[in-house]
Structure 1
């Protein structure tokens, strides 16, 4: 539920459907879960690509709206298989959930959203309507995560470059604020999953990645589906790592390549920067021990 984009591969002249919420829904469906997407698309070629791709992936779109205006996009370049976001535009993707949306959420076992969806001020309402809430905090700082964690059941953080001690403190801090389950992805160092009493670590399989775009979302989707199916921590991480690795062997977050026929994107200075490109609030969680203090002391 929430964000969608088309990922525009500037060097190759192609684009792919994507966005954290869309990717998680698609990859959950590929793991045999029933999945739906709630969000807003523009009435342009990019919006039609997203709509057709979701339909092809058998993701339910009952609560998807199409409105006049441009679909969100992200400009992507690559460095030896690693995706690097350049800039982007939120288009019409930011929206507010209405009463019918909230009622719809209650029909599902879990709802996933994240830091790119702009739904932070409705997270308490979401938690009241949904049976279970998954939230991707990426590498947002404590000041962002602290007020949201009490409304989250399954929290995901990105902490690439963090050492073992930093990850341990991050997990403990997150649990203290609410989530029963905490997932920390660490890039080449793998991932850690905790249920509050047990923790399990997993190293990623070695592979020559073609494109890492969407791998983290594939990991989250698989971990969430396995966890809700009752799998143990080791099985959850094994399955998630395997599915994410396979995602790295193809282009795009989940395929559906088309030629990029959208108008050339403006330069970075002219573009409306997507939330996850904003540099002012992206101090990584694991730096400077920010989350090591108690909630009363602040972070």
Structure 2
């Protein structure tokens, strides 16, 4: 069985529309989806000992994700306030809480026991990517960071480099993916939202259309695509089959609220007050 670890960001996504908070964060989501797709997975990160952190830990255990290197840190668990417009997510407010941490040698040694480690750019772990890449294959999500110097530093370390390009034209998305490939990444996945995805390996390009779905919530669809693609690459699955399965899985994620589900009532009083204030300020009625 392929072994995949994710190290980095987590948060609870607070949905003001229904008063529920859902486990989330790119690395957290990838660890859960990788396990659902048949990998032996683990999550390395930091959470507080509050209602949000305890809920996210419980979900990881319920999903069968290893948490041997999950820290409990004094403070508040990271959160993100989510609004929705026609099913698409709108980020209203966030706080990284205790989610950003400095990895130690025990973390690096732990990752060496996995076939690949996934890191997201919002995790603030870029200084330690070379250490990780020395010990195992690296998957990295650039998300919407497209700076040339950042790509030049990170891409050569990557087995899989992912980038979100739903805001770009097809031509620009492919050009960006090729830039990352030319900078040294072995595989490049450009997710395109409603327009599907592009996967590059050397001079070979694989294109996949999105699976049609009446989207309830698009949060987590890109992370689903990344996790399924990563599992496919590590198991040497046919890339076309991998993309087809990833598109179907991403569509399924769009059919429910929260990246991985598991919504519970928001239990972050201070953050919820801030969220309500943010929502009121962004509402036409508040103008």
The equivalent of 1:196 in structure 2 is: 202
Residue pairs, 1:205-224, within 5 angstroms: 205-224=211-230
Distance apart, 1:11 and its partner CA: 2.3
SS at match of 2:243: helix
Q: 1:134 aligns with which of 139, 151, 154?
A: 139
1:16 aligned onto 2:16: no
**Aligned residue pairs, count:** 269
Distance apart, 1:231 and its partner CA: 1.2
CA distance in structure 1 between the partners assigned to 2:55 and 2:170 by the alignment: 41
Distance apart, 1:172 and its partner CA: 2.0
CA distance in structure 1 between the partners assigned to 2:120 and 2:267 by the alignment: 29
- Extract unaligned runs of 5+ from structure 1: 272-299
Q: Which moved more, 1:148-157 or 1:216-225?
A: 148-157
1:52 aligned onto 2:77: no
1:122 aligned onto 2:167: no
Q: 2:173 aligns with which of 149, 153, 167?
A: 167
CA distance in structure 1 between the partners assigned to 2:28 and 2:116 by the alignment: 15
The equivalent of 1:151 in structure 2 is: 157
Q: 2:256 aligns with which of 235, 250, 253?
A: 250
Q: 1:89 aligns with which of 50, 74, 95?
A: 95
CA distance in structure 1 between the partners assigned to 2:229 and 2:238 by the alignment: 10
Q: 2:234 aligns with which of 213, 216, 228?
A: 228
The equivalent of 1:237 in structure 2 is: 243
1:68 aligned onto 2:68: no
CA distance in structure 2 between the partners assigned to 1:8 and 1:242 by the alignment: 26
- Extract unaligned runs of 5+ from structure 2: 1-6, 279-287
Please identify which structure carries the higher helix content: 2
Please identify which structure carries the higher strand content: 2
Does the 8 Å CA contact 1:115/1:137 hold for their aligned counterparts? yes
The equivalent of 2:186 in structure 1 is: 180
Does the 8 Å CA contact 1:39/1:95 hold for their aligned counterparts? yes
Does the 8 Å CA contact 1:199/1:233 hold for their aligned counterparts? no
The equivalent of 2:113 in structure 1 is: 107
CA distance in structure 1 between the partners assigned to 2:230 and 2:124 by the alignment: 21
Distance apart, 1:267 and its partner CA: 4.1
CA distance in structure 2 between the partners assigned to 1:190 and 1:161 by the alignment: 12
CA distance in structure 1 between the partners assigned to 2:164 and 2:263 by the alignment: 27
For residues 174-193 of structure 1, the C-alpha deviation after alignment (integer angstroms, 9 at most, x for no partner) is: 11211110000111211000
CA distance in structure 2 between the partners assigned to 1:78 and 1:178 by the alignment: 37
Q: Which moved more, 1:47-56 or 1:160-169?
A: 160-169
Q: How large is the Cα RMSD of the aligned pairs? A: 1.5
Distance apart, 1:252 and its partner CA: 0.7
CA distance in structure 2 between the partners assigned to 1:22 and 1:168 by the alignment: 27
CA distance in structure 2 between the partners assigned to 1:111 and 1:137 by the alignment: 14
SS at match of 1:84: strand
